[in-house]
Amino acid sequence: MSASEFTLLPDIRYASPDGIDLYLDVLGPAPLPTTPLPTVVRIDGCPGWGPGDRSSALLPFANPALARAGFLTVAISVRHTGQAIFPAQLHDVHAALDWLHRNPLGLPIDPDRIGIWGQSAGGHLAALAGLSTSRSRANVRAVVTISGPSDLLRPGGAMRIDRPSPVTALVGGDVSTHREQLRAASPIACVSAGAPPFLIIHGTADETVPYEQAERLHRALLAVGAPSRLLAIPGGLHNLRDSWYAVADEAACFFAELFWR
């Protein structure tokens, strides 16, 4: 990544829930324009809603690919399950969206053209945020979810709910007493008419989050008349290794079609 190609504003504190500082990084074209740009938020894939690495958004096939396409990009950290249980993670995403709406640094953010994307746990939170933007002041207009779970009550792969797992950790323990919380944490349960356009990308051989999770979300969105495209990666595993540049191109084209037309 060439320093002269991008403007990077790292380590901006956007919220401090329960005294836990949360940060975001802004990456955009250099120099930053004075006119508002469509803005895309990336949520780290963790793994499993655990401690994440926000800096992974600087990989060339992540936010740099979108900044190169003319977007302002934002990478956010959220509380992990060792710090707080659901819905804390979703509240953090909403807090970041509210920060974008307030725009305290005077960045070239277009609040009417905000997209969100993420992979795995980040894709799950991106989908939830897109389906619940009435809780924040900045509406999400487009969602890309990559290898993300959509129904936490339907186990498969590493999504175990009959024993301790990342899914049970998300809601704080025994699923028998947290089923409604798991349902509320499932994007498929939040689908309703008026949902923003979705691009769902998933490997057909995903060993962690079964491909069927993507199919179910896609069908649910179409059933309420929401625009949805399902892009299957034949033979793709959960990490979609060797496909990331193609995935980034698809995401950039998806956001561009919605925000630049």
pLDDT for 186 equals 97
Per-residue pLDDT of the chain (261 residues; tens, 9 = 90+): 555 899 999 999 999 999 999 999 999 999 999 999 999 999 988 888 998 899 999 999 999 999 999 999 999 999 999 999 999 999 999 999 999 999 999 999 999 999 999 999 999 999 999 998 655 566 899 999 999 999 999 988 988 888 888 999 999 877 777 788 999 999 999 999 999 999 999 999 999 999 999 999 999 999 999 999 999 999 999 999 899 999 999 999 999 999 987
Q: How high is the mean pLDDT of the chain?
A: 93
What is the spatial distance between Cα 112 and Cα 92, in angstroms, rounded to a whole number? 20
Judged by DSSP in three states, 154 sits in coil
Give yes or no for a cis peptide into 60 (omega within 30° of 0): no
* pLDDT for position 137: 61
23-26 contacts, C-beta under 8 A, 24 or more apart: 23/54, 23/76, 23/77, 24/54, 24/74, 24/75, 24/76, 24/77, 24/96, 24/99, 25/54, 25/55, 25/57, 25/58, 25/74, 25/75, 26/72, 26/73, 26/74, 26/107
What pLDDT sits at residue 260?
82
How far apart CA 33 and CA 107 sit, in angstroms, is 9
pLDDT of residue 169: 92
- 204-247 pLDDT tens trace: 999 999 999 999 999 999 999 999 999 999 999 999 989 999 99
What predicted TM-score, i.e. pTM, was given to this entire model? 0.96
pLDDT value for 45: 81
Residue 47, pLDDT score: 84
